[in-house]
Chains A and B, each alone.
Chain A
Amino acid sequence: MGSRTPLYDKHIAANARIVDFGGWDMPLHYGSQKEEHHAVRRHAGVFDVSHMTIVDLAGRRVVEFLQYLVANDVAKLKDHGKALYTCMLNADGGIIDDLIIYFMADTGYRLIVNAATREKDLAWIRQQAVDFDVAAEERAELSMLAVQGPKARELAAGCIDAGFRDAALALKPFTGVQAGDFFIARTGYTGEDGWEICMPAADAPGVWDCLLAAGVAPCGLGARDTLRLEAGMNLYGTDMDESVSPLEAGLNWTIAWEPADRNFIGRKALEAQRAKADNRRFVGLLLEDRGVLRNHQKVVVEGFGEGEITSGGFSPTIDRSIALARLPAGDYERAKVDVRGKLLNVRIVKTPFVRNGEIRIDTVGETQ
């Protein structure tokens, strides 16, 4: 038996199929992964993401510390509640984890890191924090729900304290607000609008019941994966890990190169890599033939070499197979993928594949 979130009994009651995810017993789906996927694109769905790790940092030098710890620059967070997506790198520029940082108070920041990397992340953060007198407190007593979809905020608003409703509904994308014991942010991992809500564990079952009663669909890790893939969002441990830098994971935009004198961990290695001309491309693929692209399938680019699919699957919104892949450097638009010995045709497309319910890629393409 793995760890269980405070909503485990709710998942069982909703007929969840439970799977192990990084040591946690989590819902994979509640009947149909595809229906859950569509619910988020068209209406609203709720994910229990209480397994994710919440770490609150406090200390007089916390800004200085974070400017050293991560590749993006927390100086961009000018107002309380603002969020920043970033990678935490090792000295070689390899990605230890990706995380979201919220600016909570003048000397306080909240980090949300992945569940599967909890122990190494906490150890790394605390090791680096010593020189800055920054305290890192894990908030394991908090639960987290992600309510996502075009109707998510409207429906979830009825499930939070009325006194904070207006403030929560007024949130701009990628900002959050402390609402009593709750922290509500307009963020997510699906490519749809919505909220991620941190709350005391005791409150989570009530909020869950309220959301379901309001018509929000319970959604499992399966739909979470197909939604984030369509949204072109990386999954740690699949699309990137410590052997890959943000430059080869499509995350150049998360690196703050300026100011040039900010010394963050991994900077030297990244600068050396940036100067090279043969860095691998990280791209979206659309399968033009019938079939399904899967993680680790080999991609063959004639004249350029070989690469690999890092995340592949079926896109319920596009009704075709899509993937994220790391491919050899070069200027080309087509490739082939080895699917059980057959070479199928794929076209390189710009991610996201889907955003706010709309297909963003050209699914027809030019005929060969």
Chain B
Amino acid sequence: MSELPGDLLYTRDHEWLRREDDGSVTIGITDHAQHALGDLVYVELPEVGQVVSEAGEMAVVESVKAASDVYAPISGEIVEVNEALADDPEKINSDPYGDGWIVRMEPSDSIDEDTLLSPDDYQEFIDELDD
């Protein structure tokens, strides 16, 4: 499996977050998650403007095998969704940290890094899962 991007934060539910310069946060699922799900065939996206709270269901990714919830790693408002996933859900398989992003959020509070995982901590977490 490829190396984790060092500029992202991660969750135990296998989401990643990128803090953008404008204060918003881009969110997707990790390479580990897309690999476990297999070929993605459908993504149910939230509405722009929808307010989600931390750990709440935010999107659903469906592979040929199963449906899986994507949880909001932080509270905030959805300001943009990746419309391209409607026609090309497999972008999440091919480029989970890039073109396969899922939503962009405006956080309602400052991000508490203690509740999230650093790249090293997430790597350790998935290594333990694979054992």
Contact = CB atoms under 8 A, between A and B. Distances in A.
Interface string B29-48: 00000000011011010000
B67 interface: yes
B47 to A, nearest CB: 13
A290 B64 contact: no
Interface in B48-101: 60, 62, 64-67, 86
Interface residues of A, number: 17
Given A29-B38, A291-B42, A34 B64 contact: yes
Contact of B39 (A33, A321, A340): A33
Contacts of A294: 66-67
Given A33-B65, A222-B65, A290 B42 contact: yes
Contacts of B39: 32-34
Contact of A316 (B60, B64, B66, B67): B64
A345 to B, nearest CB: 15
Interface string A260-304: 000000000000000000000000000000111010000000000
A340 B41 CA distance: 17
Contacts of A65: none
A28 B38 CA distance: 10
A100 B49 CA distance: 56
Q: Interface of chain A, helix or strand or loop or mixed?
A: mixed
B62 A314 contact: yes
A34 B65 CA distance: 10
A108 interface: no
A222 B67 contact: no
A314 B38 contact: no
A316 B39 CA distance: 10
A314 B66 CA distance: 10
A291 B44 contact: yes
Contact of B42 (A28, A222, A292): A292
Contact of A313 (B44, B60, B64, B86): B64
A28 B66 CA distance: 13
A226 B60 contact: no
A222 B64 CA distance: 8
B122 to A, nearest CB: 21
Nearest to B42: A292
A226 B67 contact: no
B41 A222 contact: no
A226 B66 CA distance: 12
A314 B67 CA distance: 11
A340 B65 CA distance: 17
Contacts of A340: 44, 60, 67
A292 B67 contact: yes
B41 A292 contact: yes
Given A33-B65, A222-B65, A290 B86 contact: yes
Interface in B1-47: 38-39, 41-42, 44
Contacts of A290: 42, 86
6 contacts: A34-B41, A37-B64, A226-B64, A292-B42, A292-B62, A313-B64
Interface of B: 38-39, 41-42, 44, 60, 62, 64-67, 86
Given A316-B64, A340-B44, 9 more contacts: A28-B65, A29-B38, A33-B38, A33-B39, A34-B41, A37-B64, A226-B64, A292-B41, A321-B42
For the complex of A and B, list the 8 residue pairs with the smallest distance between their C-beta atoms, beginning with the closest.
A314-B41, A34-B39, A292-B62, A33-B64, A292-B42, A314-B64, A33-B38, A33-B39
